[in-house]
Amino acid sequence: MAETYDYIICGGGTCGPVIAGRLSEDPSLKVLVLEAGNPSKDMDDVHMPGAWTKNHSGHTDWNIVSTPQAGLNGKVCNLPRGRLLGGSSGTNGTICVRGVKQDYDDWGFPEWSGDEMFRAMKKAETFHPKEWFPHVEDAHGYDGPLHIAPALPPLPIAERMFENFKSKGLPYRPDMFSTGETPNGCGHAMRTTYEGRRTTAADYITADQERSNVTIICNATVDKVILERGADGTLEAKGAEYVDKDSNRTRVNTSREVIVAGGTYCSPAILMRSGIGPKKDLEAVGVPVQVDLPGVGENLQDHQLIFMYYELKEADLTDDARVNHDPNAYENGHKEWMEKKTGWLANFPFGAFGFARLNDRLERDSEEWRNFPRREGRDPMDLTETQPNMEFFNTICYGGPPEYTDFPKEGQWAFSMCAFLCGLQSRGEVKIKSLDPFQPPYVDPRYLDDRRDLLMMSEGVRFANELVMEGAGTKDIVKGGWPPGAEHHKYKTNEQWQPFVKKYTSTSYHPGGTCKLGKKDDKMAVVDQYLQVYGVKGLRVADCSVMPTLHSGHTMMPAFGIAEKAAEYVLQAAHAVDLQ
């Protein structure tokens, strides 16, 4: 006999545990979380923020690889996604950049306005002030399960980067990434790290937040949502079927709702295996069509990110001595973290952050740019003057994704400038390759597919290079590009940067959009403003896949906001039913 729960949450990543935690505050509700990965409680590499790349393959990851990307000269990109309780909030960079309010206003619903999303993001947060950091009191929450604090006081290379930003027209507004009001400036990105330890979404339902009305089943890969058609023809979610690691199948029933929270790549896959999606794609893999929803898996967006490296002439400005010169860096860092929760692994190694509007530069220099159509009051990326075109940040030593392996040796010091594109115009897709729930989905992000993305990315790296080579903080201490022999520090024009951009652009780990929120008359919309799947009763999607467009920032904080709001809508519906 199948167990019955009020709510079944498919995916115990970032959004899933938030929703479970909030729903279970009502002790009368019985909640089930099904997570494909393992519990994360004993994984040190999850709790040490600096160990993030250790989780980007193997059993803690979905091991998704993109299709060859035409915009990147045919390159394939690894697309890490956390597969563990806490999901990508346990494997990410801990950076909290919430975007600007206009990003959410652009979603087109009063329920999802900038003010609403910033309220919901604050609800998740307990902010821990630091004496050295002038935070904006109102911008933060103080009683949520997610512990957020500024990173460690900046290393000299981060201070130098702030000098660069300021000298190049980006004023210093220390807490700008929490207020959502500055499209052009520099400041500090808060972190989901407190006292040297990462805090994840799993904290909503584990340790001191554990509740007897939440059941968590790990190693439970959801195959599909069980749908049944009632006598009046309404299609309704009645439960879910999952497969454990020994391939046993189990059905669980719901008396109220199923909430899919598998993330941008896996939520559309769960819907498609359940018969919800574009008819032709479902038929191609032999799934009987329950709802022909053409938007499922479409509209994939991912901020395109690039790392550009530089070598310094001077010692002691970066953290290279501890991170790259020490042959036992990981062992020593781990030991210090175990004993004191300090050391290089207690911090995600990024320094100063900036937003910039660069539209004017392209308007000035590029005829192609000037010829792109635009809406009134918007640039060709469809952004207003209140939204940034690019985000910039620097690493505090040589480091980055695992493919970068030119580690400096003793006597060498390097860092990177990172640039990512806001308002991107390229759109990709996710599909399932088969009915096997363990097979990673087909993912084609179509990076740099749209010319506007290539032009703005190239302008972004051109500006980033000017920051480093001409900015007041580093112009006298940079030797040139890294690794030795690199010439990129000499490039001057947008055209010169384009081949570099095509070669080195990759994922920013921020996919969204594949089950997009939209109005009923939008045939590509998958969920309505309450995150209910069109055409099915009792089924919602709540994770980054619902974002119709990506905000300008990093996607973890909006994930928390989306989940907090999803829980509010689910509870409102529950109370309305109970009143009846």
State in angstroms the smallest separation of the CB of 480 from ligand FAD. Answer: 28
Among 271, 559, 567, 574, binds ligand FAD (CB under 6 A): 559
Among 54, 81, 168, 238, binds ligand FAD (CB under 6 A): 81
Among 49, 87, 145, 150, binds ligand FAD (CB under 6 A): 87
What are the C-alpha distances in Å from 161 to residues 157, 350, 455, 483, 484? 6, 11, 24, 20, 22
State in angstroms the smallest separation of the CB of 416 from ligand FAD. Answer: 15
Q: Does 426 bind ligand FAD (CB under 6 A)?
A: no
State in angstroms the smallest separation of the CB of 550 from ligand FAD. Answer: 10
Q: Does 543 bind ligand FAD (CB under 6 A)?
A: yes
Q: Does 15 bind ligand FAD (CB under 6 A)?
A: yes
State in angstroms the smallest separation of the CB of 99 from ligand FAD. Answer: 10
CB nearer to ligand FAD: pick between 49 and 343: 49
Q: Does 19 bind ligand FAD (CB under 6 A)?
A: no
Tell me the C-alpha distance between 123 and 143, whole Å.
7
Q: What are phi and psi of 420, to 5 degrees?
A: -135, 155
* Helix (H), strand (E), coil (C) string for 495-537: HHHHHHHHHHCEECCCCECCCCECCCCCCCCCECCCCEECCCE
User: Please, are residues 122 and 101 in contact by the beta-carbon 8 Å criterion?
Assistant: no
Binding residues with ligand FAD: total (CB under 6 A): 41
- Binding piece for ligand FAD, criterion CB under 6 A, among 211-219, 328-336, 479-487, 556-564: 556-564
| Helix-helix angle 494-504:451-470, to 10 degrees | 100
Whether 510 sits among the annotated catalytic residues: the reply is: yes
Q: Does 510 bind ligand FAD (CB under 6 A)?
A: yes
Q: Does 221 bind ligand FAD (CB under 6 A)?
A: yes
Q: Does 566 bind ligand FAD (CB under 6 A)?
A: no
User: Please, are residues 150 and 133 in contact by the beta-carbon 8 Å criterion?
Assistant: yes
Q: List all residues 6 or more positions away from 410 whose beta carbon is below 8 Å from its beta carbon.
A: 325
- Binding piece for ligand FAD, criterion CB under 6 A, among 123-131, 228-236, 264-272, 458-466: 264-272
Tell me the C-alpha distance between 384 and 3, whole Å.
51
Q: Longest C-alpha distance within the chain, in Å?
A: 76
Q: Does 13 bind ligand FAD (CB under 6 A)?
A: yes
CB nearer to ligand FAD: pick between 112 and 491: 112
Q: Does 32 bind ligand FAD (CB under 6 A)?
A: no
- 222 marked among binding-site residues: yes
Report residue 533 as tokens: 């799947």
Q: Does 437 bind ligand FAD (CB under 6 A)?
A: yes
Among 509, 538, 551, 566, binds ligand FAD (CB under 6 A): 509
Q: Read off the amino acid at residue 183.
A: P
Whether 147 sits among the annotated catalytic residues: the reply is: no
CB nearer to ligand FAD: pick between 69 and 193: 193
CB nearer to ligand FAD: pick between 92 and 498: 92
Distance of CA 579 to the CA centre of its chain: 38
CB nearer to ligand FAD: pick between 151 and 454: 151
- Binding piece for ligand FAD, criterion CB under 6 A, among 91-99, 315-323, 330-338, 496-504: 91-99
Helix, strand, coil content of the chain in percent (nearest 5): 30, 25, 45
Q: Are strands 276-277 and 291-292 parallel, antiparallel or unpaired?
A: parallel
Q: Does 539 bind ligand FAD (CB under 6 A)?
A: no
Q: Which helix (H) or strand (E) holds 416?
A: strand 413-421
Q: Does 544 bind ligand FAD (CB under 6 A)?
A: yes
Q: What are phi and psi of 569, to 5 degrees?
A: -65, -40
Question: Which of 135, 510, 551, 575 does the annotation list as catalytic?
Answer: 510
Instruction: Give the footprint of ligand FAD on residues 49-68 (CB under 6 A).
Output: 56
Q: Does 270 bind ligand FAD (CB under 6 A)?
A: yes
User: Please, are residues 508 and 420 in contact by the beta-carbon 8 Å criterion?
Assistant: yes
Q: Please state, as a whole number, how many other Cβ atoms lie within 10 Å of the Cβ of residue 334.
A: 18
Residue nearest to ligand FAD (CB): 13
Can you say whether the dihedral through the CA atoms of 284, 287, 288, 293 is positive or negative?
negative
Q: Does 88 bind ligand FAD (CB under 6 A)?
A: yes
Cβ-defined contacts of 339-346 (< 8 Å, 24+): 340/196, 341/195, 341/196, 341/197, 342/196, 343/196, 344/50, 344/319, 345/48, 345/49, 345/50, 345/51, 346/48, 346/49, 346/50, 346/152, 346/193, 346/196, 346/197
User: What SS3 class is residue 162?
Assistant: helix
Q: Does 31 bind ligand FAD (CB under 6 A)?
A: no
CB nearer to ligand FAD: pick between 31 and 266: 266
- Binding piece for ligand FAD, criterion CB under 6 A, among 78-86, 138-146, 172-180, 231-239: 78-86
Mark the binding-site residues for FAD, compressed into ranges.
Answer: 222
Q: Which chain residues interact with ligand FAD by CB under 6 A? A: 10-15, 34-37, 56, 80-83, 87-89, 91-95, 221-222, 261-264, 266, 270, 437, 509-510, 543-544, 554-557, 559
Catalytic residues: 510, 554
Mark the binding-site residues, compressed into ranges.
Answer: 222
